[in-house]
Amino acid sequence: MTHRVETRNLLSSSFGASHQVKIHRFGTEGARPKVYLQAALHADEYPGLLVAHHLITLLTALDDQGAINGEIVLVPVANPIGLGQRINAQHLGRFDLAGGGNFNRNWPDLSEAVLERTEQDLTEDPERNAQIIRDALIKEVSSLGVRTELDDLRKTLLLCSIDSDLVLDLHCDYQALFHLYSSIHHKKLAHELGRDLGAHAVLIETEAGGEPFDECHAGVWWRLKQRIEPAKPIPLGCFSATVELRGQQDVSDELALQDANALIRFMQRRQVISGEPEPLPEPLCYPTPLEGTDIIYAPAAGVVVYHKKLGDRVEKGEVVAELINPAAESQDKARIVLRSRTSGLFLTHMSDRLVAPGAALIKICGELALEHRESGKLLEA
């Protein structure tokens, strides 16, 4: 039995109060492949918390059977800071109320620092280079300064994850179908993960913008590869994905166990866990560019009425929702019609029905890149 639990105390932000991060480790430290999973970095996104709970049970049983070949690191509550943020009994877990912004933005791009550490040591052997880069990543993260509690949380999570082969960051949307985000450099593996999980959309990008957690990991490898090859071969040493477990209210033992078993199957296919997985399910979708996903923002305040449901097929120019201003001077000016700028899948929408200007109301997943969607600026706040 290899399962052990570590507790990391974060820098205290006030007298007499502190937060802890619990880290579950399975398998042999340093074994490959290494998988890192975490839940609720956006602390108000709850489905991943229950998936992690079921994963611990499943992984413990597999560990007792000696079936863990690689190393698995699981952080079931990745953001204890955000988990405790409540104002007037309302949980606010997406943004750091101490001023740190979105918990899943502005993670460091370590590629330039790692290049400086490794450029003279890299060889013609890609496997050797992968180890050199992983060692440099650990050293670079270890050297990161900590001034705030959020800095300490980020450093703690990165020390657990930065040298992983696979990184899966469990999130959800407000109301949504199952979908995931990954890099165009890992299109094939992202498609496989989407098949195992039953994703309705696999959104891939060259660079998402905003520096999310998943790109902090995989981005180092493809950026170094672009800089150094062909002189010195650099493998794509880390596959990472943001896994959107439907919507905030899609929390049940049935769904969570289904998702946890799918993640186990995916790890079996990667030889992290022994055992013969079930045949790969037929795909519910094929990867599409994130630039092809139209985000419809509220142009004004209003009560939103949706004319489409999750999973509906939408045609370009079709009315998908209306904003209603009950305080309008005349009824013929009370409604603003919202139309899709692409043809595709009605993927997500907000839970709130009273919205402010600029709210990201709807995502429609199309197959073709859209002119108004800029690469590198693809994620909403």
Q: What are the 10-residue block averages of pLDDT along the chain, 381 residues in total?
A: 96 91 97 98 98 98 97 98 96 96 97 94 95 98 97 98 98 98 97 98 92 97 92 95 98 98 98 94 97 96 97 98 94 94 97 96 96 81 78
Amino acid at 313: R
């204890």: which residue's tokens?
80
Q: How far apart, in whole angstroms, are the C-alpha atoms of residue 51 and residue 244?
A: 12
Q: Positive or negative, the Cα torsion across 68, 160, 222, 370? A: positive
For residue 148, what are its two tokens? 């705030």
CATH number, domain 291-366, options 1.10.645.10, 3.40.50.300, 2.40.50.100, 1.10.10.10: 2.40.50.100
Matching fold, domains 4-286 and 291-366: no
Q: How far apart are CA 89 and CA 133, in angstroms?
A: 45
* Tokens representing residue 369 in the block: 């890149």
Would you call 290 helix, strand, or coil by DSSP? helix
4-286 architecture in CATH? 3-Layer(aba) Sandwich (3.40)
- On the CB side of 340, how many CA atoms lie within 13 Å of its CA? 27
Candidates 207, 266, 5, 224; CA nearest to 110 is 224
Residue 209 is predicted with a pLDDT of 87
Residue 287: what residue type?
P
Whether the CB-CB separation of 111 and 223 falls below 8 Å is answered with yes
Report field, pTM of the whole predicted structure over 0.75: yes
d(CA 216, CA 221): 10
| Residue 54 to residue 58: CA distance in whole angstroms | 6
Q: Tens of pLDDT along 56-76?
A: 999 999 999 999 999 999 999
Per the CB < 8 A criterion, the answer to whether 177 and 200 are in contact is: yes
Amino acid identity of residue 319, one-letter, is V
Contact 147, 130 (CB under 8 A): no
Domain spans of the chain, in order of start: 4-286, 291-366
For residue 182, count CB atoms less than 10 angstroms from its CB and return exposed for 0-12, middle for 13-18, buried for 19 or more: buried
Q: How far apart are CA 306 and CA 348, in angstroms?
A: 11
**Per-residue model confidence as pLDDT tens digits over 143-185:** 999 999 999 999 999 999 999 999 999 999 999 999 999 999 9
